[in-house]
Amino acid sequence: MGEIMNIKVIREKIIVVRGIKVMLDRDLAELYEVPTKRLNEQVKRNLKRFPRDFMFRLTKSEVTQVVANCDHLKTLKFSPQQPYAFTEHGVAMLSSVLNSERAISVNIAIIRAFVKLREVMAMHKEFIQRLSELERRMGKKDREVIALFEAIRKLMNPPQKKKAAIGFHARK
């Protein structure tokens, strides 16, 4: 139980779909140590607790995009069902539907992960705003300082993974 309570492990399962941070039903079921089918059955029995801003079903194109971006979700590619995505509020509501001790402790850890993620994003935005404000004040006085700001911004953006070419390519 110690590993799943690690906020880093949970944060890796939080993805962005439709511009919203969500967790998929299969990841939640894994954390709760229940089959995805059982988790979804409980949700369907309590649909009134899960409005569209708490939970929604991914479209086929969203599933394709998620599979392309998240290695741990590659088996979704072959699933006949589109998964449900739960927002932070949907995850909180799951605690009222799933009444085991494990569900309660997992929900607390997940909510903490969402909160921590929000704090990190807020700090990141604040830093960028302050950097931009300082850059505006500098104006065109010092090109070296502006180059430094640009270098800092490049370091803040994660490097993009190069995708391997598909198919046969002749060597030059």
- What confidence tens digit (pLDDT) does each residue in 129-141 have? 777 776 676 665 6
- In this predicted model, what pLDDT tens digit does every residue of 139-150 receive, in sequence order? 656 666 667 777
Number of domains in the chain: 1
Q: Which helix (H) or strand (E) holds 117?
A: helix 101-138
Backbone angles phi, psi at 52, to 5 degrees: -60, -25
pTM: 0.61
Instruction: Find residue 56's DSSP bridge partners.
Output: 85
> Is residue 125 a part of any domain in this protein?
no
Looking at the domain assignment, is residue 154 inside a domain? no
